[in-house]
Structure 1
């Protein structure tokens, strides 16, 4: 009897000892994913498609918060300042990696202030034109730009984005001159092109593909090495027949970062649950329909790619003479 009572008292005492946050049932309340871009773009779609699946898995709401401004810095800083408790994450895009290469001073350190969870998806970029433009492929639009240097506007999703980067690399490779019209996100860039304010747009495939399907834009090329399974009829820049573009390859990728100090147990569970979500047939179908493809890298491989890309972008920035605007 005494031993039984002692066991009960000891068990009760152990139960009162606080456990690390990562060891508790997680998530026990809504989880927030901050996207530093406007709604409708590839980053936003990635977050929303995954968020809905994770909500079903966790039985907790996943809130997608679009917080633009400062070329993504406003949203990044918001996550940086958040508690490292596993309830606020950043939807990483390679635009954030480009910023590290382009801007000498940032208010955050992408590698020290954040912990990687995993890479999730990738999406090629697309060059598209208003239907009134005669060009039907990359070679023809290049001829037009060479014939009218500085007379053609090209819209992008913003300064120092992957879209801006791809446009500058293209211009440098083809020795063409065009006027860069940066927008605050892919959606407004597409709207201005559809409405005829600009003739050409460099945009993420997910943001532009619906308008191509509706006949409001004409896709003339995508920037990836190979054609996208989501849009197999759109040729790559490499297929243009132009030797200057034979090695062209620029893609957007997306992943999840947490504030440094987030419990490792939470990051491991997040990684496992996102991997499961990305393997679900309905998620694959939604991603494909939006122009996105699963691209899964664990935290170590994710960090290695980000670090390698910073160096790659530094070289490309110097070669193409890309300047912050």
Structure 2
């Protein structure tokens, strides 16, 4: 026979076990990040360097952290639609943004923005920089930056330069070049890089500033001529192409990508993501694939990436002012 006292004690002990094993343990598991899938928003259409970089890192994070990191493409309005979607998400680390040069440019280029990017997004980690390159039609009688500038000055009104759209890094890199070189040309915006490159190859357009990722194979195949890269150093996938800065000292632009989260995302979550993204960038297979794209990894802590974002935003503000171009 079990006494009433023994029964009550046993029942209390069992209840305590339920609390500690059934309620507290799940609470601890819920507090551990990540406890479910993480959404990685790419504010561009699928395909291209943004998708390749995102999927490489998301696969690494999924394997390392034991939860799915899922790429979700939200294109439109020069990256604004995807950016707004992340800004409006809960600040819990489960919605991330692939930040880019477009965010730095739009801060001054787009007066219609309903948010302050610098105040709305918490910097998490850098991903990569991609140099741009000035490519021209093979029939253009210019084989260097100096010759291109001389040709432009001797043939006013004859040069047309393509871009992937007004207000893009490709467009504004051309505007900066034009101002620093003291030349004039007609800007022709396209919906993306590919149609612009096609018209440069055909001769309808004489040249284009483009990411090396989408143009280096055309250069290697002899379908386009590369005159100069926009970085201070040569690109590893176009080692024979000198920097534009060799002719125009101080000239420098790049496309960059990184990761951001909604403001007020917990610091421990940001630090964990930063640590693992940096580990991904150090992974030999990922490093090799990034190099194949002509990209340069951006490593460092979240604060360093935040400082880089601020610097890029100021850099592009000056270029936007120089170009005199704003979104209408």
Structures share a fold, TM > 0.5? yes
Partner of 1:108: 115
Q: Report if the CA contact (8 A) 1:22-1:266 is conserved.
A: no
**2:205 corresponds to which of 181, 198, 203:** 198
**1:34 corresponds to which of 33, 37, 41:** 41
Partner of 2:3: none
**1:247 corresponds to which of 245, 250, 262:** 250
Alignment of 1:73 with 2:80, yes or no, is yes
**1:94 corresponds to which of 91, 101, 117:** 101
The equivalences for 1:282-301 within 5 A come to: 282-301=285-304
- CA RMSD of superposed structures (Å): 2.7
Q: Measure, in 2, the Cα distance between the counterparts of 1:163 and 1:188.
A: 14
Partner of 1:273: 276
Q: Measure, in 1, the Cα distance between the counterparts of 2:125 and 2:78.
A: 23
Q: TM-score if structure 2 supplies the norm length? A: 0.86
CA shift for structure 1 position 10: 3.3
State the aligned residue count: 320
Larger Rg: 2
Alignment of 1:56 with 2:63, yes or no, is yes
Unaligned runs of 5+ in 2: 1-5
CA shift for structure 1 position 11: 4.7
Q: TM-score if structure 1 supplies the norm length? A: 0.87
Compared CA separation, residues 42 and 312, structure 1 to 2 (3 A):
same
CA shift for structure 1 position 101: 2.1
Partner of 1:311: 314
Q: Measure, in 2, the Cα distance between the counterparts of 1:144 and 1:295.
A: 37
Compared CA separation, residues 144 and 80, structure 1 to 2 (3 A):
same
Q: Report if the CA contact (8 A) 1:38-1:187 is conserved.
A: no
Larger mean Cα displacement after TM superposition, 245-254 or 313-322: 313-322
Q: Measure, in 1, the Cα distance between the counterparts of 2:168 and 2:28.
A: 39
